Amino acid sequence: MKTHYQILIIGGGTGGIMTAAQFLKKDKNLDIGVIEPSNTHYYQPAWTLVGAGTYDFDKTARPMSKVMPKGVAWIKDYTTGFDPENNSVSTKSSGNLTYDYLVVSPGLVMDTSLIEGLQEALDKGVVCSNYMDPKHTWEVIKNFKGGNAVFTQPTTPIKCGGAPQKTAYLAADYFKKKGLLNKTNVVFATPGSVIFGVKPIRETLMKVIHRYGIHFKPFYAPFKIDADKQIIYFKYTAPADKRSEIANGNMLLEKKVKDDIIEMPFDMLHLAPPQTAPKFIKESILANEQGWLDVDQYSLQHVKYKNIFGIGDVTSAPTAKTGAAIRKQVPVVVDNISLLMRQKEATNTSYNGYSSCPLVTGYGKMVLGEFDYNNNFTPDPKLKQLLIFDSSKEHWRLWILKKYMLPYLYWNKMMKGKNV
């Protein structure tokens, strides 16, 4: 069995497949290996729509064999560790594999142990997560009859930070259509301080929250779930100048159990589980103190090992963990490795933190949050040309973009190594 590759890629998700495909577009004779254990590749951005009953889950999945670029060696295995001094990666069953250049893009893992009771709660009827099982989310929303519908997210970074609030908006719109909104408290509780970091988007979203009458609870960090009693516990983390008094027995029936601990009953609960880098990254020499792959945020080159690059959710780059970020990161990494192959320095430092979050605000409506490292609103020029309006405001065309155009571009352009 072959054990050395010119370019070795860890991960057959968006980052790994795009990178392999773009390299082969440049030179079809490159020797590329992709380590990926899964048989199925998912288009996860559509799971928000699956959870709202407006997208077919089966259409989000394709066999890995169909998306793996022709000419790439697919190593169907798990990565277990690194020996960067010897340009080597260890695997579960294929032994050690060596490389000239390494691209690390394995994505995140869900760590339900970081919220007490979460693992058990996910098996109960009214607790759901689009991140784990979007079909179950839709069943929960359909069966909801009123009361507290609580939507929340963890203190860890998560894939697409806007996804938990999109689910709240879609659920609120569904409850409205079914005449349930007047007997429902839709709660969006977040450990964050604002609904969104980019000002024009934030202003639009606060209007959406007001329209649905959503109870917006900033500085609420979930740490425990009691699925049997249907209670979620939050730590209230607001600084002194931002605190508001939690009224015991308010319409949400919240209770201050003790200092800064709040319990809230729920009749349905949707949450994003805590997420971390995989263990083989977190505990490796390639990680920073927080457990993320330690890369330069502009070139995506590892800070110590110059022939190693990171792409996507697992990197330390301080931007949102989205497919849109990967779309802008891959060309930078491909360019930098191409420079190294020609005995030059990796001088492409053009990744500016671009990411985007398609914020669905109801059935047939969306806002597109595009931003950089400094939280500047940065609409993509190509998209702006196509849409011809302000994407920080709700529009039906953005819904068409989310539901039809982006999946098409994903499968037919991004996965084929075309720049979009």
Which residues participate in catalysis according to the annotation? 160, 357
Q: How far is CA 30 from the centre of its chain?
A: 30
Q: Which residues contact 376 (CB under 8 A, 6 or more apart)?
A: 198
407 φ, ψ (degrees, to nearest 5): -60, -40
Do residues 104 and 10 touch, judged by C-beta distance below 8 A?
Answer: yes
188 φ, ψ (degrees, to nearest 5): -115, 110
DSSP, collapsed to helix, strand or coil, labels residue 267 as: coil
| Neighbour count for residue 303 (Cβ, 10 Å) | 15
Element (H, E) at 7: strand 4-10
Do residues 79 and 35 touch, judged by C-beta distance below 8 A?
Answer: yes
Side chain identity at residue 63, one-letter code: P
Report the distance separating Cα 183 and Cα 179, nearest Å. Answer: 9
Count the alpha carbons within 13 Å of 415 in the hemisphere toward its beta carbon. Answer: 21
Report the distance separating Cα 212 and Cα 352, nearest Å. Answer: 35
Do residues 108 and 275 touch, judged by C-beta distance below 8 A?
Answer: yes
Report the distance separating Cα 320 and Cα 339, nearest Å. Answer: 27
Report the distance separating Cα 137 and Cα 143, nearest Å. Answer: 10
Of 227, 238, 131, nearest in space to 189 by CA: 238
What residues does 75 pair with on adjacent strands?
A: 35
Report the distance separating Cα 160 and Cα 356, nearest Å. Answer: 9
Q: Which residues contact 13 (CB under 8 A, 6 or more apart)?
A: 36, 41, 105, 106, 107, 312
| Residue in the block written with tokens 């068409």 | 400
